[in-house]
Amino acid sequence: MTVEKKTNYGSISVSQEAIASLAGGVITECYGVVGMSSTQVLRDGWAELLKKDNYAKGVVVRDTPNGLEIDLYIIVSFGVKISEVVQEAQKKVKYMLEKTLSQEIASVNVFVQGVRVIG
């Protein structure tokens, strides 16, 4: 699945992997987000913290008739209000993806896989 755009100069194709990496990079810059987590929770309920080059493993991109649906799996910092962090992260990711891709984003779903103490 790719996002296709036609211009006067030719066509542009953006891969699902590129969209996932962009979304992962945007959400990790949000306040209260420690990092991305894999979509699969490891044994005993532990969530793996992904490195920069693996952000796409913590993102699921689906193309629907209403637009793209993005699922993000994150780990948040201890001591922050999770609902506020998630709401702001959703707004930022939706805005940045719509601005960058010129494509409608139907929804940004955030799944908190864990809480970490930073220090």
d(CA 5, CA 76): 35
How many separate domains does the chain show? 1
74 touches 35 (CB < 8 A)? yes
Residue range(s) defining the domain that contains residue 91 = 2-116
Its pTM stands at: 0.84
> CATH no. for residue 87?
3.30.70.1350
Tell me the C-alpha to C-alpha distance, in Å, between residue 84 and each of 54, 57, 79, 102. Answer: 26, 24, 12, 26
Give the tens place of pLDDT for each residue, 64-116. 999 899 999 999 999 999 999 999 999 999 999 999 998 899 999 999 988 98
